[in-house]
Amino acid sequence: MSLIVPLYVYPAPGVWDPLYWAAGNHTGLNITVILNPCSGPCVAPLAQPYLDEIPKLKQYPNIRTLGYVATNYTDRAVEEVLQEVERYSEWEGMMEGGKMGIDGIFLDEVPGTYDWRSEEYLKKVTEKVMEWRGTRKTNGTNGINGTEVRGLGEGVVVHNPGTLPYQTWNYLHLANLTVIFENTFDVFIESTTFYKLKSLTTTYSLPKDRFAIMLHSVPDIPDELTRWLVTELREMCDWSFVSSIGEKDEYWHAFSGIFERYVGWSDWI
């Protein structure tokens, strides 16, 4: 099982410690962390707490980081999205050794329904990420020792429509990973939804490592049910995240009470 962690919480002292605990004590788990300092990469310089905490993520070989970019269901001007991708590529040169560098882009608010214009839009973004894959040094004044260092590491592209795409026409081919469910636990266990999620690989003829599920509003369930939940998620997809927070717009803004148990079972099963 691998975790996809929407790290939308401000890095005040100690707040990111549950993530460090998970990565350090469960080294068999691969963890993809979504960084979202300003609903994107920020126009102004990053606040010092981000400069203090993001390099710590690099100490864990089982963590990779992605930068959050919203597309507003491809209604946002694509030029703005491409600019944010470029801005994230500049993080690579903020510190010696690429300690601030990220490994790709998490595109939020990707349309669930297919439209050829949205496909062209998303294709442009994927091409921009590929353009900055790896690390590149150029002459400049904004980087280290007069050399501008930029890059997007592995060049990973993750889409988040949060819903199941059409079987025939979709954008799955433009992403390394797609979040095909972002919703409540109650919706997850509805029979129609549940069995559609259990047949993902058959429906889309793709392996489990191309899909992710993000659950929130998980009730106070006993440990046995947490184990059942993790088992079912593992059968559906390779990547997931679970939160017991049920307050609208706050689902991913803290590590919830179920986090430790969820991580423990994810590493054990």
| Locus of tokens 């266990």 | 189
The reported pLDDT for the residue numbered 79 is 98
Least confident of 8-12, 72-76, 115-119, 137-141: 137-141
pLDDT in tens, 42-95: 999 999 999 999 999 999 999 999 999 999 999 999 999 999 999 999 999 999
pLDDT of residue 145: 54
SS3 assignment, position 116: helix
- Determine the average pLDDT of the residues in 3-14: 97
- 3-state DSSP of 21-80: HHHHHCCCCEEEEEECCCCCCCCCCCCHHHHHHHHHHCCCCCEEEEEEEECCCCCCCHHH
Mean pLDDT computed over 240-268: 97
CB atoms within 10 A of CB 151: 22
pLDDT band per the 50, 70, 90 thresholds, residue 148: confident
242 DSSP β-pair partners? 215
At residue 188 the predicted structure's pLDDT band, cuts being 50, 70 and 90, is very high
Among 20, 13, 30, which residue's Cα sits nearest to residue 56? 20
Nearest to 166 by CA among 91, 233, 111, 92: 111
pLDDT grade for 32, boundaries at 50, 70 and 90: very high
Angle between helical axes of 191-198 and 223-236 (0-180°, round to 10)? 50
Residue 144 has pLDDT above 70, yes or no: no
Q: Residue 150's pLDDT band (boundaries 50, 70, 90)?
A: very high
Report phi then psi at 248, rounded to 5: -55, 135
Read off the pLDDT band of 139 (50, 70, 90).
low
Residue 135 pLDDT grade (very low, low, confident, very high; cuts 50, 70, 90): confident
Domains of the chain, each with CATH number or no CATH? 2-268 (3.20.20.60)
Which of 76, 162, 164 lies closest to 122, judged by CA? 76
Question: How confident is the model at residue 140, as a pLDDT?
Answer: 58
Question: Across 134-138, 156-160, 265-269, which has the greatest mean pLDDT?
Answer: 156-160
Q: Which amino acid appears at position 22 of this protein?
A: A
pLDDT attached to residue 1: 80
137 confidence band (pLDDT: 50, 70, 90): confident
In contact, 47 and 18? CB cutoff 8 Å: no
